[in-house]
Amino acid sequence: MTPVQIWAAPFSNKMATKLKKAKSAGRFRAKYGKSVRDKLVKVESKQKVKQKCPFCGKLGVKRLSKGIWKCTKCNKKFASNTYYLD
Ligand SMILES: [Zn+2]
């Protein structure tokens, strides 16, 4: 065994654990394929943050259901984009 191989073995293990970026798709474990889970994480992470209200301009809009949004600042309920507001 060369010195390079001895050094590379623990390093590659560390990299493998570091590469786990499950986030909200972690509940699916290994199901559905990585690219699908990555796309889901992208959409869900945008869904969870508060969106900007088109009426009062404040960050307080939460997603209630598909395309249904409610602003916690001015209490307006409205229909808009399905997953996140622009
Ligand atoms: Zn508002």
- pLDDT string in tens for the chain (86-residue length): 555 555 555 555 555 555 566 788 888 888 888 999 999 998 888 877 788 888 898 888 988 888 899 999 999 999 988 887 87
- The predicted structure's pLDDT at residue 1: 58
Same domain, yes or no: 37 and 24? yes
Q: What gap in Å lies between CA 18 and CA 62, rounded to an integer?
A: 32
Residue type, position 43, single letter: V
Q: Give the domain range for residue 43.
A: 19-47
Question: Cβ distance 67 to 82 under 8 Å?
Answer: yes
Residue 63's SS3 state is strand
CA of 39 to the centre of ligand 1 (A): 28
Residue 3: C-alpha distances to residues 7, 34, 37, 55 (Å) = 6, 34, 38, 64
Instruction: Return the structure tokens found at 14.
Output: 């560390």
Q: Ligand 1 being an ion, which residues bring their Cβ within 5 A of it?
A: 53, 55-56, 71, 73-74
Same domain, yes or no: 76 and 53? yes
Same domain, yes or no: 41 and 55? no
Regarding pTM above 0.85, the answer is no
